[in-house]
Structure 1
Amino acid sequence: MDRIRESFDSLPVAICFFDKNGVVRLINHRMLMLTDRLRKNGIQTFDELEAALEQPPETVCCLNKELRLYRFWDESVFQFTEKTIRTKPGIPYTQVTACDVTELLQSQNRLQKENERLKDANDRLRKLFEQMPDLIREEETLAMKLRVHDDIGYSILSARRLLSQQAGLDEIRAGAAVWEQSIEVLYRSFKTDEKQDALEEAVRRAEDICGYLSGGRVRLPYLCEQPEYESPLYEGIVSGR
């Protein structure tokens, strides 16, 4: 009998049995500890246990009435279940068990938090995908502007070299065409007034440099304007003389 009692007490769950009159007939050590926490003087009947679970003390918190989850003062969480069993002669007993689900609940909470983090990450990723076309266009526009600025710089150096070396007319025309094309592309990339001001400043500086190199005043075409050239050298380039 002692061995049976020891085995009953060593079960990993808290368990007790009530007879058909609701009187406790068998209870193991784990359930005894829990019922002492639920009710100051413990429980003797099934009704006392039900009343303690319905209105637990301040040290016990009911997390879910439907699932019958209760958190005790030491942060342990137990789930209470009950069912009716019958012995071989057919005598009914009510079995009440309480399983420690503390780790399971903690794992569920961690999983829920992880799912929330994943949801936030997915939302950010979705917004990034939605903004991807705009980001690509911005990158392409920036790359184009850098190439145009490089072309303008190359054109200035090339014009200086051609003028200093007194190159042929065809070479000078080719350099002028590259310059004009670069200015036109740069203008098209500017939409706002602020950017237009930046373009005008860039063109003005280019005109000053070209005028300095050619020995006259040069006006570069932009805004679909007809070019106004006062440099004899540039007039020769355009007219083919």
Structure 2
Amino acid sequence: MYELSQYLLHSSIQYLAEAEQALASPPDGVVPIAHAENTYQFPDQTIWKFEKRIVTDRYKETYTQLTAADVTQLHQALTQFAIDNHKLAQDAEKLKELSKTVEAVAREKEALAAKSAMHDSLASCITVTKQFLAGDLDRISAEVVLREWEKSIAFRDSVLEPAKDSLYHAAKSSGVTIRITGKIPDGDMSELIYTAMQVCLTNAVQYAKATELAACIRKNDDIITVMIRNNGKQPEQPVREGGGLTNLRRRIEAAGGTMRIQSLPEFILCIEIPKRKHE
């Protein structure tokens, strides 16, 4: 208390009134702490809380007692607590905005998948119909054509049917043999690979008159590589991306991968997707 009185009065405190007056109008270097009643920071950076109360001795005499408690650590802890709370509130707001972004991305992904499925289904129907009308493949009957169009119009099968089943159904309808070298990984990766083969199948039948579609899958520690080719006629000019290939590229890049197209001397679609990014 002696050191505090030196800061407040430059002398020892003799009377309660002079201490109260010094605390009401503190000298330079003694700063009241905002939002903390009767609490002051002194020039040595310590923080003290003053409290006045009435005490009674054993003779029933009453006195006014002025005490000062060092609350430096408590004040620092409360200040840090307030800073942490403010930061948590900011992080919560950022997380809220991020969740909105994630929801929007998920909706966009679902919409893109639905558009891709519809495009692939319609492209398959158109290709089968053209082959039937042109008489290119004897195994395609009117019943097969009608069944493909029924599936496309309903759209249910094109969205809910697994990509693998959709690929093999389309290959069977088109008279195309599917050959896969290597093991296709499980989960979402397999859906993406089968979808890529579906797009290539549609283009191979429509433009290259192919009867076989081959996919080679290689894995290393970090990347899965898929190369898709067909036995149809070679492209006469560089392949331009259309609806199917464009949608496929978006899905692959959304999964963290890359897609390259080789047109000459033969068509090859190459996909690379990092395993960790996919996981």
User: SS state of the match for residue 89, structure 1?
Assistant: coil
- Is the counterpart of residue 172 in structure 1 residue 167 in structure 2? no
The within-5 A match list for 1:1-241 is 31-64=1-34, 67-124=37-94, 137-155=107-125, 158=128, 163-166=135-138, 167-175=140-148
User: Residue 107 and residue 168 in structure 1: after superposition, are their counterparts in 2 closer, same or farther (change >3 A)?
Assistant: same
Q: Is the 8 A contact 1:155 1:178 kept in 2?
A: no
Gaps of 5+ in 1: 1-30, 186-205, 214-241
Q: Which has the higher helix share?
A: 1
Q: Which has the higher strand share?
A: 2
Shift of 1:69: 0.6
User: Residue 155 and residue 66 in structure 1: after superposition, are their counterparts in 2 closer, same or farther (change >3 A)?
Assistant: closer
Shift of 1:99: 0.7
CA distance in 1, matches of 2:10, 2:136: 107
TM-score under structure 1 length normalisation = 0.51
CA distance in 2, matches of 1:175, 1:65: 75
- Which moves more between the two structures, 157-166 or 89-98? 157-166
TM-score under structure 2 length normalisation = 0.45
Q: CA RMSD in A?
A: 3.8
CA distance in 1, matches of 2:117, 2:25: 77
Shift of 1:125: 5.1
Shift of 1:62: 1.0
Shift of 1:130: 7.0
Gaps of 5+ in 2: 159-201, 210-279
Identity among equivalent positions (%) equals: 25
CA distance in 2, matches of 1:64, 1:118: 23
User: Residue 160 and residue 110 in structure 1: after superposition, are their counterparts in 2 closer, same or farther (change >3 A)?
Assistant: farther
User: SS state of the match for residue 79, structure 1?
Assistant: strand
CA distance in 2, matches of 1:142, 1:120: 33
Q: Is the 8 A contact 2:39 2:50 kept in 1?
A: yes
CA distance in 2, matches of 1:73, 1:56: 12
Shift of 1:58: 1.4
Residues 8-35 of structure 1, C-alpha deviations (whole Å, 9 max, x = no match)? xxxxxxxxxxxxxxxxxxxxxxx11111
CA distance in 2, matches of 1:86, 1:211: 105
Shift of 1:156: 5.9
